[in-house]
Structure 1
Amino acid sequence: MRFASPLIRLLAAAGMALAGLASAHAGEVPVAVAANFTAPMQKIAAAFEQATGHKAVLSFGATGKFYAQIKNGAPFQVLLSADDTTPARLEQEGQAVQGSRFTYAVGRLVLWSPREGYVDDQGQVLKTGDFTYLAVANPKLAPYGLAAVQTLEKLGLGERLQPRFVTGENIAQTYQFVATGNAQLGFVALSQVMEGGRIAKGSAWQVPEALHDPIRQDAVLLATGKDQPAAIALMKFLRSDAAREVIRAYGYGL
């Protein structure tokens, strides 16, 4: 039987010690993520873990619901909001670290149908289409829903189409209403229907930004994450070129 030399044994032991040290310093960060940002954040989280060893534990939902949960003590350390007002409010109320918030993405709203050629590039289908239901996220909870309502009001179609609304709790549920055929078309996030820089399937009208308030999506370090290395590292990583490349690929502005 051959025995490893003392030098090899020493190097092996040192390697194990370094691996253990890296593992000891790696942590988990609970993150509340706006539903529209599901796909890009899953990719960013994977890149974040590979780059830092930290793991982002993601929860997806409506920004309004996350606000209520955070106020009631939910243990999130970072919030990726679908708006810029909720993080600002959390800062003012002492629930978030002052000066930590920044705009990580600017959302884009689209009117979408899985049916090819149904939604025209001017959105005239809203006036001429024979649809029964129009999916819209709850404007009280989801900024994309508010943008959809503002768009319809600007077009003079708010009162006329409101009886046809199928209201989703968040933008993810709104997308499902359309994707499953429970609504013929709906207002969703561009990121939900974009793949490889184009609309992956169906037909869509990208709503001009002049028709609604800007969908500035801010990230903020919550008070519970103030002294947490993983949370601080994630906030930094969201500004990295790697993260920004993913964000752009899903159709967001920066």
Structure 2
Amino acid sequence: MLSIGEFSKICSVSTKTLRYYAEIGLIIPDEINPENGYRYYSIDQLERMLFINRLKSYNFSLDEIKTILESNKLQDKKLYISLMKKKKEMERQVQEYNQILNQLNDDILNVKQGNAMMSYLENIDVQLVEVPKMNILYIRKRVHEYECEDEAVRCFNQLVRRVIDNQLTITAPPMSLFHSEEFGELGLDYEFALPIKEQVTGSREFHPHLCLKTVIRGSYSQLSSVYTKQIEWAEKNGYENNDALFEVYVNDPEQVKTENDLITEVYYPVKKKEKR
């Protein structure tokens, strides 16, 4: 048997943490002396503690770890799925940090060369174009910020299944329309759409008319900068927003090697401001 101090030292976990883990049922001392309350752990529990520490290093929450420990086998299918899910989350985080690091390096270079840190906005191209009428198959719903990516995948998959099941003809890449200006308690008013040739149940006519258009190559993190540039362009040239903003995803994120290969068209419907 190992005292709580010995167990703490071997596993690099504080005694305070071990007491908390016992409270929540994560790892309970094998024996507690009824006279003095001293806690003792068995040798067999060392492996359990190492397993907990390993999952913590992968950013599993204590609730997630407890659920895994309560399963019949540690190496079962549920554990495998949990590890794969965590792996994808960490890969996404690494990508995001790499993007931030690249952006930071660009900003450092700009400042070093005596340029304004926000001078990159000058390289964003804005064009005034007339977008023709189209027919879209759509799903419109409220989506919370944290679920946007997963919800987009689900909705576009549903739309593609409708196209296949009904033998419809896709005429352009998938797109998202944004009908509300901000995230509320119920989320953002999203419309996921596929332009199609036919008019069927679940489709509608969409004609944005005059739009500001910007094509970006690379991460979706650039989108806020594009919206800023388009709004500034509209204000400077006497235009105002006239309909829902929308994005067209020219290529599939699942089919590109890196985010740098992504191509997105951003549209900001406008009309000429009325003279007062």
Report the TM-score when normalising by structure 1: 0.25
Larger radius of gyration: 2
TM-score by length of 2: 0.24
Higher-RCO chain (CA-CA 8 Å, sequence separation at least 6)? 1
